[in-house]
Chains A and B, each alone.
Chain A
Amino acid sequence: GAVVSQHPSRVICKSGTSVKIECRSLDFQATTMFWYRQFPKQSLMLMATSNEGSKATYEQGVEKDKFLINHASLTLSTLTVTSAHPEDSSFYICSARDLKGINTEAFFGQGTRLTVV
Chain B
Amino acid sequence: AQSVTQLGSHVSVSEGALVLLRCNYSSSVPPYLFWYVQYPNQGLQLLLKYTTGATLVKGINGFEAEFKKSETSFHLTKPSAHMSDAAEYFCAVSDLGFGNEKLTFGTGTRLTIIP
Complex alpha-carbon distance, A45 and B102, angstroms = 9
Digitize B24-55: 1 where CB-to-A-CB distance is under 8 Å, 0 elsewhere: 00000000000010000111111001000000
Decide if B101 is an interface residue (CB 8 Å cutoff). Answer: yes
* Closest A residue to B98 using CB positions: A103
Count, chain A residues at interface, CB 8 A: 27
Interface majority SS (helix, strand, loop, mixed), chain B: loop
Contact A107 B105 (CB under 8 A): no
Q: What is the CB-to-nearest-CB distance from B91 to chain A, in angstroms, rounded to a whole number?
A: 10
Whether A18 is near chain B, meaning CB under 8 Å from some CB there, is no
Q: Which residue of B lies closest to A101 (CB)?
A: B99
Please pick, from A1, A4, A43, A97, the residue contacting B99 in the complex, using a CB distance under 8 A. Answer: A97
Whether a CB of chain A sits under 8 angstroms from the CB of B74 is no
Residue among B43, B102, B106 making CB contact with A46, cutoff 8 Å: B102
